[in-house]
């Protein structure tokens, strides 16, 4: 985890709901849209119209006769970028219209990020302590993000997709150092905590599909890192726990075969 632990806290607080909640601001907006006022109807119609324009010009640019033209694709890129930005702006207007207009806690964003990072560290410590009681291996990972400085040189495709995606740069740039500081405090307490923000540093192909999600190759690289960590920390699993797991597996198999 990482991004949502920062992003949610700030956005929730701005929307007038408790920062710790999952995504209440989002669901308040979703539920409230059943009350389609004239201004919301106009905004929604505008979004639909813009998306139709994007679809039409994309289909036109791919026609056999003209799809080889660089000029056509330059025009498509300019219009698509402009209309996509308008869609994002109008969508944000709709979301903001449902906000309460006051913060849940009267704190600035940086203070909320500090609070979010502290809670993140506290939760991981609790998970570790509870897991250790039963001999369960717990590994805590800070997920990568394309906005983490010097974490990866983005390809042109990634740069475009990241730029035209979720507006979360401020949360990553301002918040990730706070999470990384928490990591430095958790390790001396015996927690297995890994900062994966540099996992794509030497990858020169496209990994990011947008500013928060990776392609299949990115998932594979992260999964391989997790496997390495599990193998390296097998000793942290209680022998009693392993025996219990084998016994439970055999009992389950016996019931199924019976």
Instruction: List all residues 6 or more positions away from 91 whose beta carbon is below 8 Å from its beta carbon.
Output: 47
How many other C-beta atoms lie within 10 A of the C-beta of residue 34? 6
Backbone angles phi, psi at 195, to 5 degrees: -90, 105
Burial track 168-196 (b if 16+ CB lie within 10 A, e otherwise): beebbeebbebbbebbeebeeeebbbbbb
Instruction: Decide: residue 243, CB within 10 A, 0-12 exposed, 13-18 middle, 19+ buried.
Output: exposed
Backbone angles phi, psi at 192, to 5 degrees: -90, 100
Average pLDDT for runs of 10 along the chain of length 258: 91 85 70 72 90 92 87 89 89 74 87 95 93 88 96 94 90 97 92 94 93 93 94 75 52 52
CB 116 within 8 A of CB 2: no
pLDDT value, residue 14: 85
Instruction: Decide: residue 227, CB within 10 A, 0-12 exposed, 13-18 middle, 19+ buried.
Output: exposed
Cα diameter, the chain: 70
CB 128 within 8 A of CB 140: yes
pLDDT value, residue 258: 47
Give this prediction's pTM.
Answer: 0.69
Instruction: Decide: residue 132, CB within 10 A, 0-12 exposed, 13-18 middle, 19+ buried.
Output: middle
Instruction: Decide: residue 123, CB within 10 A, 0-12 exposed, 13-18 middle, 19+ buried.
Output: middle
Radius of gyration of the chain (CA): 23
């Amino acid at each position: 985890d990482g991004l949502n632990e920062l992003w949610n806290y700030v956005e929730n607080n701005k929307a007038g709901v408790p920062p710790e909640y999952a995504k209440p601001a989002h669901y308040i907006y979703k539920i409230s849209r059943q009350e389609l006022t004239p201004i919301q109807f106009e905004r929604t119609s505008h979004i639909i119209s813009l998306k139709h324009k994007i679809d039409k010009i994309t289909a036109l640019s791919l026609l056999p006769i003209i799809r080889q033209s660089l000029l056509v694709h330059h025009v498509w890129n300019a219009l698509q970028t402009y209309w996509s930005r308008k869609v994002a702006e109008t969508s944000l207007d709709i979301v903001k219209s449902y906000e309460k207009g006051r913060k849940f806690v009267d704190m600035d964003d940086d203070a909320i990020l500090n609070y979010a990072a502290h809670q993140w560290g506290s939760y991981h410590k609790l998970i570790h302590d509870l897991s250790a009681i039963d001999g369960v291996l717990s590994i805590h990972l800070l997920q990568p993000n394309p906005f983490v400085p010097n974490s990866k040189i983005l390809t042109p495709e990634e740069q475009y997709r990241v730029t035209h995606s979720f507006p979360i740069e401020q949360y990553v740039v301002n918040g990730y150092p706070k999470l990384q500081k928490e990591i430095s405090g958790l390790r001396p307490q015996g927690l297995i905590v890994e900062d994966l923000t540099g996992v794509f540093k030497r990858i020169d192909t496209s990994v990011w599909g947008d500013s928060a999600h990776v392609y299949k190759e990115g998932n594979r690289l992260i999964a391989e890192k997790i496997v390495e960590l599990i193998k390296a920390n097998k000793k942290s699993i209680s022998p009693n726990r392993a025996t219990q797991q084998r016994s439970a597996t055999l009992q389950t198999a016996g019931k199924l075969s019976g």
